[in-house]
Chains A and B, each alone.
Chain A
Amino acid sequence: MTYEPVLTRYVREPNSFTLDFFLKHQGYDGLKKALAMQPNDVIEMVKASGLRGRGGAGFPTGLKWQFVDKKIEPRYIACNADESEPGTFKDHVLMERNPHLLFEGCLIGCWAIGAKVAYIYIRGEFYHVQKIMEAELAKAYAKGYAGKNVLGSGWDCDIVIHRGAGAYEAGEETALIESLEGKRAQPRIKPPFPAVAGLYNKPTAVNNVETLCNLPAIVINGAKWFADLGPEKNGGPKLFCVSGHVRKPGVYEATMRTTLRELIFDYAGGVRDGHQLKAVIPGGSSVPILLPNQLDVPASFDDVQKAGSMLGSAGIIVMDETTCMVWVARNLLYFYKHESCGKCTPCREGGDWLYKILTRIENGEGEMRDIDLLLSVGGNIAGKTLCAFGDAAATPALTTVKNFRGEFEAHIREGRCTLPADWRSSRAAVGAH
């Protein structure tokens, strides 16, 4: 059975982002149908579809909506468009090429939980995307798809696009809410969860762009259609981002029955010419590495977890045999130490320690005991912070040592980087800067 893309079917076609184009392809049909349903029935339908959050955690969307406290007014949808997980670039495509699908998803979400405003928190670096979205949103308002009296239903619903300013941590749901409130993007203590006390202390559903973009198709085609598209509890269309050392990096839409090996070798054309696969990060930089012999699993939330990693944001980063794993860990730890919000000590200080130890090893100045020090520091960050950032920061160090301990030992024994690839800096790794 060949799979016909649902979310990205038209994205390469000229003017696919316009309202006219969207209306010619079932645009806002899902919204019309949803508005004819009771809000609670929409929630039940999404629950029955088994839609799971596409941001990383894979939490069932219908359940999240059910938890939203319907006794308190007002309620909000906060759309997480702060796509920042290294290796992830799927929401970028959806927003730039199919923005009305996201607006429709936001409106359906608002209808379901009884919200009158959806804030789309888009990362500041996507300003070129935001400009397109703002122009299209104005058209949607003008034609009555959003704003006052949506489609003549008597129901008002606003969509506001809110620009972030460069903070990975703003992708964490409570940090996103803090940032929307005009504060530093730092996570809150949970509970209370956003469904009870979120934006402005009101019930809020925080949903990823891709999650919301799936709603129109669910409403139009039904919960069963969606669930049947993938393995059990992993239904629906899914966007996969393949990058790194592959021939054809890009965003590929498939079902979660597709294996990681198929995504890398069939969709993305395999490893670049003349090279062999060494390691794969399957779900954005925060998840454990998989080795070439672990890729024959369906790229679903549950199967990738069984294989020892996580599907996360489906950012598949492919590395070939020229890649030094100490360098990989160091590259990512620089990211995490730079992006740590600083609220929790294990993450703020530990990330920097890991980076410094890795720099020492990469420069050939490490000692054998540094390897166990990495494991010890990493183990003292994971699970000891308010949000999942701590676990994410520790993972690159822990997973590279676990899978490639020999490379760390070789660096230390030989007093130099044993795999200095030609695509890397010609200079020695510099210390913290």
Chain B
Amino acid sequence: MSFHPLMVYDPAHFQKSERATMDEGAAFALTPDRRAKLDDLLTKYPAERKRSAVLAALYLVQEQQGYLTASALRHVAPILDMTPAEVDDVATYYVMFFREKVGTYVLQVCRTLSCALNGAERVTEALSEKLGIKVGETDPSGMFTLLEFECLGACDRAPIVMVNNEHWHEKATPESCAKLVDDIKARGAEALSGCHLWVEKR
């Protein structure tokens, strides 16, 4: 049966929404090595549960072009047996996916209680002042984006700044922020303190 005489009943494609809320962006396809990585990840889940790898797929997209776009979601959706709308639903929920262009270095300052008790608000202010941007903005050079983040799980080394969803800088102080920004400009992620638990590095 069909809801409307002109609407063909086709269970395989029924209700497959192409809807995606973010910018269309440039044409997108995963590079062959990233596609191979995704195919390998798919083997970790039951064959009929490919969508389990959606977060991993979105990370690969983000690694490739820095942020997510509608065309990228349309590219990964069929690989995961999902509709673009379903990928969009997931992508817009998780805070580690960027839905617009971000700077080369995304500074993510933890703002939750233990970091705030140790001066995280002042750290954010100092970074904001040094970069000349507000929280959520990217500086004109396109090098830095400043974000506030929720508890990063290292409250004993507060305040914590995470960079690009990955690198850690511990015990940030308002006084050291200007230097930190300059150091990142000069040396990239190497300028960060890293995680103190990695004792081998010291």
> Are A168 and B150 within 8 A (Cβ)?
yes
> Are B117 and A184 within 8 A (Cβ)?
no
**Contact A181/B52 with A83-B153, A167-B95, A251-B156 known, Cβ cut-off 8 Å:** yes
Residue among B136, B152, B200 with the most chain A CB within 10 A?
A: B152
**Contact A424/B121 with A127-B166, A166-B95 known, Cβ cut-off 8 Å:** yes
Question: What residues on B are CB-neighbors of A332 within 8 Å?
Answer: 112-113
Chain A 93-111, CB-CB to B under 8 Å as 1, else 0, gives 1001100000000000000
Residue among B56, B113, B149 with the most chain A CB within 10 A?
A: B113
The docked-state distance in angstroms from the alpha carbon of A84 to that of B113 is: 12
**Contact A182/B82 with A89-B154, A200-B46, A200-B49 known, Cβ cut-off 8 Å:** yes
Question: What residues on A are CB-neighbors of B199 within 8 Å?
Answer: 12-14
Chain B residue nearest to A181 in the complex (CB): B52
> Are A425 and B150 within 8 A (Cβ)?
no
* B window 118-149: CB within 8 A of A: 118-119, 121-122, 124-125, 135-136, 149
Residue among B56, B111, B153 with the most chain A CB within 10 A?
A: B153
One of A61-69, A188-196, A223-231, A239-247 contacting the partner: A239-247
What is the number of contacts between chain A and chain B, taking CB atoms within 8 Å? 175
**Contact A125/B162 with A92-B197, A182-B55, A243-B114 known, Cβ cut-off 8 Å:** yes
Q: Which of B125, B152, B200 is in CB contact (< 8 Å) with A15?
A: B200
> Are B156 and A241 within 8 A (Cβ)?
yes
The docked-state distance in angstroms from the alpha carbon of A336 to that of B49 is: 31
Residue among B44, B111, B114, B168 with the most chain A CB within 10 A?
A: B114
Question: What residues on A are CB-neighbors of B136 within 8 Å?
Answer: 433
Does A139 make an interface contact (CB < 8 A)? no
> Are A87 and B155 within 8 A (Cβ)?
yes
Chain A residue nearest to B116 in the complex (CB): A331
One of B12-20, B29-37, B86-94 contacting the partner: B86-94
Does B97 make an interface contact (CB < 8 A)? yes
Does B96 make an interface contact (CB < 8 A)? yes
Q: How far is the CB of B128 from chain A (nearest CB, A)?
A: 10
Number of A interface residues in the complex (CB < 8 A): 69
Q: Which of A168, A185, A315 is in CB contact (< 8 Å) with B155?
A: A315
**Contact A243/B165 with A184-B89, A335-B150, A425-B125 known, Cβ cut-off 8 Å:** no
Q: Which of B58, B155, B167 is in CB contact (< 8 Å) with A243?
A: B155
* A window 124-155: CB within 8 A of B: 124-129
> Are B55 and A87 within 8 A (Cβ)?
no
Does A369 make an interface contact (CB < 8 A)? no
The docked-state distance in angstroms from the alpha carbon of A241 to that of B151 is: 14
**Contact A86/B56 with A128-B195, A423-B122, A425-B121 known, Cβ cut-off 8 Å:** no
> Are A163 and B59 within 8 A (Cβ)?
yes
> Are A423 and B119 within 8 A (Cβ)?
yes
The docked-state distance in angstroms from the alpha carbon of A245 to that of B95 is: 29
Chain A residue nearest to B52 in the complex (CB): A182
Question: What residues on B are CB-neighbors of A319 within 8 Å?
Answer: 117
Question: What residues on B are CB-neighbors of A93 within 8 Å?
Answer: 197
Does B54 make an interface contact (CB < 8 A)? yes
Q: How far is the CB of B110 from chain A (nearest CB, A)?
A: 9
Q: How far is the CB of A309 from chain B (nearest CB, A)?
A: 16
Does A323 make an interface contact (CB < 8 A)? yes
> Are A92 and B153 within 8 A (Cβ)?
yes
Does B3 make an interface contact (CB < 8 A)? no
Chain B residue nearest to A167 in the complex (CB): B94
Does A88 make an interface contact (CB < 8 A)? yes
> Are B93 and A167 within 8 A (Cβ)?
yes
Question: What residues on A are CB-neighbors of B53 within 8 Å?
Answer: 182
Question: What residues on B are CB-neighbors of A423 within 8 Å?
Answer: 117-119, 121-122
Q: How far is the CB of A75 from chain B (nearest CB, A)?
A: 13
Does A123 make an interface contact (CB < 8 A)? yes
Question: What residues on B are CB-neighbors of A242 within 8 Å?
Answer: 156
Chain B 160-181, CB-CB to A under 8 Å as 1, else 0, gives 0010011110000000000000
> Are B59 and A165 within 8 A (Cβ)?
yes
**Contact A125/B113 with A165-B59, A182-B82, A424-B121 known, Cβ cut-off 8 Å:** no
> Are B97 and A165 within 8 A (Cβ)?
yes
Question: What residues on B are CB-neighbors of A167 within 8 Å?
Answer: 93-95
Top 3 closest pairs, chain A to chain B, by CB = A182-B51, A165-B94, A243-B155
Name 16 A/B residue pairs within 8 A (Cβ), A-sorted.
A84-B153, A88-B155, A91-B153, A165-B55, A165-B96, A182-B82, A185-B93, A200-B46, A244-B118, A281-B113, A285-B113, A335-B112, A335-B113, A423-B117, A424-B116, A425-B124
A: residues with CB less than 8 A from B are: 11-15, 83-89, 91-93, 96-97, 123-129, 158, 160, 162-168, 179-185, 200, 241-245, 249-251, 281, 285, 315, 317, 319, 323, 328, 331-332, 334-335, 338-339, 341, 423-427, 433
